Structure 1
Amino acid sequence: MSQAKQTAEKVEYNGSDNLAIMSHAVNYNGGLYKWVASDVRPGETILDFGAGNGEYANRFPIGSVDAAEIDPDLLPLIKQPVYTDINALNKSYDLIYTINVLEHIEHHGAIVKDLYAKLKPGGRIKVFVPARQEIFSNMDEHVGHYRRYDKQLVRQILEDAGFRVTDVRYYDFAGYFISLLYKWMGKDGRITKESVVFYDRVVFPVSRLFDKLTLGHVIGKNVIAEAVRPN
């Protein structure tokens, strides 16, 4: 879900711009979709909460995923059924996934409880969020982030909502150090297509190797988590 920052003179770089540039991160996006879709069984009901420009929802067969998104500029890009209010959804899901969304929501705990209520007993939730408050930078400010997370906070909000957490770990080992350098250099918060492509093709594959070697226990640019609604 994007959140624009505006001044009286102009609309500044925002979440929509970020999503457009990140669409060039082939390895990053492909890896996250593989994670989301890895355990999906035929006929399961799926909700993409905060679908953005449809980067992940659109990879599923048309009509097999419901997408929740509030940004009117992004709605035309989503090929799946779209809803701007999850309270209007009168069904339960086997899987809900949310990628880079909770950090945009001030009262994230309340939203996670709403998602819990939308899951069938035994249903799964998959959460992906930016990690480590110490690397909160101008980029986070520009795209409307309230916070970054650590493993403990993600586990806490999931358990407080009633979930049983089955996996929580850091993701993108090298990305943490790149983001820390980005902050130290005082960058203005913008990213470029060229920098995204370089990172995605050259650095990210090596970073994921370190994730595997460390089992996601040490550090990373993101937190990745899975949980289940108890039967």
Structure 2
Amino acid sequence: MKEIEFKEVDQVGGDTLDVISNANKFNRWTYDTIRPFCKGKILEIGSGVGNISQFFLEDGAPILLSDIRKGYCSELKHKFQAYPNLEGVELIDLVDPAFDEKFKNLLGTFDTLFSLNVVEHIYDDNLAIHNAKKLLKKGGRLIILVPSYQFLFNGLDKELDHYRRYNKKTLSALFDKNDLKIINKQYFNFMGIFAWFISGKLQRNETIPEGQMGLYNALVPIFKIIDHIVFRAAGLSTIVVGEKK
């Protein structure tokens, strides 16, 4: 099975998370978009440095954070240790060959599992969804956000170790294949399409420039309105929410 060799130090990914961590308006927008679909005990797969985790913790939601890298897990523990609703921080790999054995204490225990910008890093994305489903209770919800449109694939994707980009049809197919009842599918961040194309395709950037992210973050209130105007018919990210039958 082909799979990314996850390095303990991920310079490009770490730099990208640091840039996005300062985009408070954008992170809040992302949180506000997925929060209505979250319920009960929550698991985040791929918490990184906690850009979205923080909002859940501030909201008082019981949440278990996780990542595939020990360095991020250590940072998350240190950063959020004071929150009483933090259920812990775990090292979780959705495509671990010994998944059932390693994570048997977590199987069937969560009401919500969300994973943002993670599945595109995994070669066997179907196995990732299959194992994510195992962690949910019956009626539990799986929320997946991934980058949209293969035609936008560029140097930024390569540097971030993305295997692919998605659309509502291709991401929904993974949910259907794993017998998850789809309750919502949408695009998110319409104006991001142009920003990603310009930065990655035209300017050939290999990381997200801090200045560009800062400007984008400042314009989020306008971009939110545009998403409503276009009825979320397109967007830089694809979101699908499904329930375990």
User: Normalising to structure 2: TM-score of the pair?
Assistant: 0.82
1:132 corresponds to which of 141, 149, 156: 149
In structure 2, relative to structure 1, the CA distance for the partners of 1:142 and 1:35 (3 Å cut) is same
Deviations 1:178-200 (A, max 9, x none): 22222331413122222111011
Q: Map 1:112-191 to 2 at 5 A.
A: 112-191=129-208
In structure 2, relative to structure 1, the CA distance for the partners of 1:229 and 1:17 (3 Å cut) is same
| Unaligned 5+ runs, structure 2 | 81-85, 94-98
Larger displacement relative to structure 2 (47-56 or 185-194) = 185-194
2:229 equivalent in structure 1: 213
1: CA distance between counterparts of 2:24 and 2:217? 7
Offset at residue 177 of structure 1 (A): 1.7
Q: Map 1:29-178 to 2 at 5 A.
A: 29-41=27-39, 44-61=40-57, 64-78=62-76, 79=80, 80=86, 81-85=88-92, 87=99, 88=103, 90-91=105-106, 92-178=109-195
2:243 equivalent in structure 1: 228
Offset at residue 68 of structure 1 (A): 2.0
2: CA distance between counterparts of 1:169 and 1:181? 23
Secondary structure at 1:74 match in 2: helix
In structure 2, relative to structure 1, the CA distance for the partners of 1:4 and 1:197 (3 Å cut) is farther
State the one-letter code of the partner of 2:217.
D
State the one-letter code of the partner of 1:48.
E
State the one-letter code of the partner of 2:90.
Y
Larger displacement relative to structure 2 (67-76 or 121-130) = 67-76
Number of aligned residue pairs: 221
Q: Is the 8 A contact 2:188 2:238 kept in 1?
A: yes
Q: Is the 8 A contact 2:183 2:243 kept in 1?
A: yes
State the one-letter code of the partner of 2:211.
E
Q: Is the 8 A contact 2:66 2:73 kept in 1?
A: no
Offset at residue 38 of structure 1 (A): 2.7
Deviations 1:61-119 (A, max 9, x none): 48921122111221122134121136425131100000111011111111101111111
Secondary structure at 1:228 match in 2: strand
Offset at residue 153 of structure 1 (A): 0.6
2:83 equivalent in structure 1: none
Offset at residue 120 of structure 1 (A): 0.8
Secondary structure at 2:70 match in 1: coil
In structure 2, relative to structure 1, the CA distance for the partners of 1:3 and 1:64 (3 Å cut) is farther
Larger displacement relative to structure 2 (53-62 or 221-230) = 53-62
| Unaligned 5+ runs, structure 1 | none
User: Normalising to structure 1: TM-score of the pair?
Assistant: 0.86
% identical equivalent positions:
23
Q: Is the 8 A contact 1:170 1:223 kept in 2?
A: yes
State the one-letter code of the partner of 1:85.
I
1: CA distance between counterparts of 2:10 and 2:53? 27
State the one-letter code of the partner of 2:29.
G
Secondary structure at 1:38 match in 2: helix
